[in-house]
Structure 1
Amino acid sequence: MFETFRNAWKIDDLRKRLLFTLLILVLFRLGSAIPVPNITADALDSMFEVGSMLNYLNMMSGGNLSNCTIFALGVQPYINATIIVQLLTVAIPYLENLAKEGEQGRRKLNRINNYVGAGIALVLSIGYYFVIRRMGALKYTDGFSGIFSAIVIVLCFTAGAQLVTWMGNQIDQKGIGNGISLLIFAGIVSRWSDVLASVQSMLTLAASGQSQYYIYLPVIVILALVAVVFVVILTNAERRIPVQYAKRVVGRKMYGGQNSYIPIKVNMSGVMPIIFASTLCGIPSLIGGFLPLEEGSFWYVFFHTFNYTSWVYIVVYLLLIIAFNYFYVAIQYNPVDIANQLRKNNGTIPGIRPGKPTSDFIVKTLNKITLIGALFLAIVAVLPIVLGNVTGVSIQLGGTSLLIVVGVALDTGRSLEGYMTSRHHKGFLE
């Protein structure tokens, strides 16, 4: 491994890309330490309870949201914009045509994503300002000072989100790996102190006489390692549908006749279903936290039913993950289009007739694979909550964080592998 890194460092282009990526990540972490003026962040601690929607947004920003730094919104506006534009691509012909235009079309879509992301960042900044104001965390609220303070805070949040997006795009162009994912990765890794705090809390409970925590701690460590291996295997797993192309003669040359396959990944939707599900499940508890509810009333019971540790929350969370996984795969994968492309290129799946039987076979295979992927995501997401209920200690490194960390690490490893292979060096992981 050390020899491989040494070989990678000897490649001038790769060394520059690695240094540039490291520089951007360092600048991102430095910006994460710059607070927005006129805000008392300590007054917001009660907002970021484990399992709430704001807690997940805080996790995606690397803790910047709770600290009210200039990068508080992180890459969330850009991610939301990307999802919205991707959904609109199915409904708006202009966007659909851009998606089919190759590199030039992708550049235009990326520009649209940036504009939409800026609008979302502005709306979120204004909304977050009013939340901060309601929590009494502002130094100035009245008169000209209050208006000027509001403008400064909103502009800082919006500009910070745009700067983070620009940093991610720069890594895409001049660095290694996916820039947006690497910034999320850096934010999550920077919060490993929370994991250490959970371990210290369990050791403290064990030392106070609750000896069962001496058993819980190694069990959780083993399960965490098993979960990492599980995530790595299923992230790389795919179902390969064999395809055979018929031979055809063009002039004096013969084309086709080769065998290929259609890869269908088990986890095609990545971490998005977990993010959607956790956001929806966190909305009731978030609303309940801002309303003056009388204890024992119907609305008090209703809003607190969706507490992070309740079994109702876990069941609804699991069902939403499965539903969103099917939805996300449905908008990404078009079996009819694949069947038509195979027919145009004289390709067939062995034993399946071209046309509708091919699309039906792909749909059936896709449904089975999607179910496996959905159950995989549900297990990874729900397991930390169940362990927290059993042990009584909050498991800070949740399923979303684990999937992002492992996925980004694998993706970056593949990028380095590609650079090494193209220059006739041994593989990065060999």
Structure 2
Amino acid sequence: MATLAGIANFHKVPELRRRVIFTLVMLAVYRVGIFVTVPGVDRREMSKYMAQQSGSLLGFFNMFSGGAFEQLSLFALGIMPYISASIIIQLMGMVYKPIDEMRKEGEQGRRKLDQYTRYGTVALSFFQSFGIARWLESISSSEQGAGIVTHPGIGFQLMTMITLTTGTAFLMWIGEQITERGIGNGISLIIFAGIVTGIPGWTAGYLAQNAGNLQPLTIAAVIAFLVAAIAVIAFFENGRRQIPIVYSRRQVGRRVYGAQNAHLPLKVNTAGTIPPIFASSLLMFPATLANMNVPGADRLQGIINRGGWVFNTGYAVLIIFFCYFYTSVTFQPVDVAENLKKQQANIPGIRPGKQTADYIQGVMNRITFGGAMYVATVCVLPAIIGDFLRVNITFGGTSLMIVVGVALDTVNQIEAQLITRSYEGLTGTGGGGRIRARRLPEG
């Protein structure tokens, strides 16, 4: 009730109200575009084919696109090419010095990198849309997917490439607009909206498939597992490792500030939802290569599509790898140590400079191990539980992580805007329930 009472404060902040309305309008435009089908495709036949692929990687990809892939709409590729391009640009910063220098140039460098990311998104979209066009033509000639493509050929391939690439570019623009003019996290909110809108369809499909044979204990077990998973995700996503730091006495103008104690917070899951998303994209990549008749891709795709322990083990290993890899790309202990030295701050018992960087790196390695194991467990466990209960849980751990993580970030951003304007946050009203800025403990 306290949270619902806090939501009533939205209308008291005109700017926040405009941002929320703008975000909802942009998400509504995204949902409308889901039902605009690519020319030359029979949407009903595609829906029938996808109904047979609910437990495969295609069903997983369809869930991330918010059902757009099943409709073969303008947004069938979703926002995945943008995410892949962003990660590629960040990885290039480790091996290509000019990009690393741009990253350190501040706002101007960030704009250049954003521009390169857009170019990369368009290039990846063209490549993936060509693979999808070839794949559609191949299954259209089979018995299962007969009639999906009405007029196959080079004309259909070009039209599909142009249409899907344009749809992804438009989604990218929507995400940037939500970030700048909405409540923030535009790209994440698009994925969030796509996943959440698929929950009613999954529930209705399960009830229709098991009409007259519903198992109350099975349903209760699935609900209990989802609730427990949400609680675990919320706990770990808010987890921090506080490293104590001490600021030396310093003079600013005519004022002299004494020694101060503070903490350097390090997130347990620094990589966020990027590792499972990128691991999923990598597992879907062999299907694109197989559609382009790349030697050996068919065999690799067959191994991945089998599911079971082969898929789950590979998925977990990729997630752990990308947790470490992405954390090493986005978090630079050397830069943190240098900034602490410039601010005349140090970690008690640790000498400034290289020793501080090594200490922070050691702490990050330990907490990243725990974070990686948590992410891998949450993403793989739903499939294992579903096999045990004989329930196809399409709303799996990756989806839960994204939904819970984006929801927490969005609520925190709204709270921050309310606090800035001296209004009550979302978690309480009145003097005792007002959210106050958290002070770092001393000592």
TM-score, normalising length: structure 1 = 0.88
Q: Give how far 1:99 is off.
A: 1.5
> Counterpart of 1:423?
421
Contact 2:129-2:164 at 8 Å conserved across structures:
yes
1:139 counterpart = 2:150:
yes
Q: Deviations over 1:112-159 (max 9, x none)?
A: 211221121122222211111112132112xxxx44433322211111
The one-letter amino acid of 2:350's match is: I
* 1:358 aligned to which of 345, 356, 359: 356
> Counterpart of 1:224?
226
Contact 2:74-2:167 at 8 Å conserved across structures:
yes
Q: Give how far 1:180 is off.
A: 0.9
> Counterpart of 2:370?
372
Q: Give how far 1:284 is off.
A: 6.2
Q: CA, structure 1 residues 69+301, in 2 after alignment: closer, same or farther (shift >3 Å)?
A: closer
Q: Give how far 1:243 is off.
A: 0.8
* 1:183 aligned to which of 187, 190, 193: 190
1:176 and 1:251 map into 2 onto residues whose CA distance is: 37
1:154 and 1:250 map into 2 onto residues whose CA distance is: 59
Q: CA, structure 1 residues 380+201, in 2 after alignment: closer, same or farther (shift >3 Å)?
A: farther
> Counterpart of 1:123?
127
Contact 2:55-2:392 at 8 Å conserved across structures:
no
1:74 counterpart = 2:78:
yes
> Counterpart of 2:396?
398
2:203 and 2:388 map into 1 onto residues whose CA distance is: 19
The one-letter amino acid of 2:356's match is: T
2:194 and 2:402 map into 1 onto residues whose CA distance is: 11
2:99 and 2:20 map into 1 onto residues whose CA distance is: 34
1:92 counterpart = 2:96:
yes
Q: Deviations over 1:319-378 (max 9, x none)?
A: 222122111111122222222332233221112222333222212211110011011101
Instruction: Name the SS for the 1:270 alignment partner.
Output: coil
Instruction: Name the SS for the 2:348 alignment partner.
Output: coil
The one-letter amino acid of 1:180's match is: I
Task: Calculate percent identity across the aligned residue pairs.
Answer: 37
Q: Give how far 1:53 is off.
A: 4.1
* 1:160 aligned to which of 163, 167, 170: 167
Q: Give how far 1:201 is off.
A: 5.9
Contact 2:132-2:288 at 8 Å conserved across structures:
no
2:402 and 2:35 map into 1 onto residues whose CA distance is: 23
**Which moved further from structure 2: 412-421 or 253-262?**
253-262
**Which moved further from structure 2: 59-68 or 316-325?**
316-325
**Which moved further from structure 2: 359-368 or 197-206?**
197-206
> Counterpart of 2:23?
21
The one-letter amino acid of 2:67's match is: G
Q: CA, structure 1 residues 2+316, in 2 after alignment: closer, same or farther (shift >3 Å)?
A: closer
**Which moved further from structure 2: 355-364 or 246-255?**
246-255
Q: Deviations over 1:70-92 (max 9, x none)?
A: 11112111111111111112222
Contact 2:245-2:348 at 8 Å conserved across structures:
yes
Instruction: Name the SS for the 1:135 alignment partner.
Output: helix
> Counterpart of 1:260?
262
1:251 and 1:154 map into 2 onto residues whose CA distance is: 61
TM-score, normalising length: structure 2 = 0.86
Contact 1:51-1:282 at 8 Å conserved across structures:
no
> Counterpart of 1:239?
241
2:290 and 2:160 map into 1 onto residues whose CA distance is: 26
1:290 and 1:100 map into 2 onto residues whose CA distance is: 39
> Counterpart of 1:349?
347
**Which moved further from structure 2: 98-107 or 308-317?**
308-317
Contact 1:51-1:308 at 8 Å conserved across structures:
no
> Counterpart of 1:210?
none
Instruction: Name the SS for the 1:239 alignment partner.
Output: strand
Q: CA, structure 1 residues 260+24, in 2 after alignment: closer, same or farther (shift >3 Å)?
A: same
Q: Give how far 1:424 is off.
A: 0.6
Report how many aligned residue pairs link the two structures.
Answer: 415
TM alignment of 1:249-398, pairs within 5 A? 249=251, 252-255=254-257, 257-282=259-284, 305-307=303-305, 309-398=307-396
The one-letter amino acid of 1:347's match is: A
C-alpha RMSD over aligned residues:
2.7
1:154 and 1:283 map into 2 onto residues whose CA distance is: 17
Contact 1:62-1:184 at 8 Å conserved across structures:
yes
> Which runs of 5 or more residues in structure 2 are unaligned?
141-147, 429-443
Q: Give how far 1:252 is off.
A: 4.5
Q: Give how far 1:28 is off.
A: 0.7
> Which runs of 5 or more residues in structure 1 are unaligned?
208-212, 292-298
2:174 and 2:287 map into 1 onto residues whose CA distance is: 34
The one-letter amino acid of 1:23's match is: V
The one-letter amino acid of 1:276's match is: F
Q: Give how far 1:175 is off.
A: 0.8
Instruction: Name the SS for the 2:246 alignment partner.
Output: strand
Contact 1:206-1:214 at 8 Å conserved across structures:
no
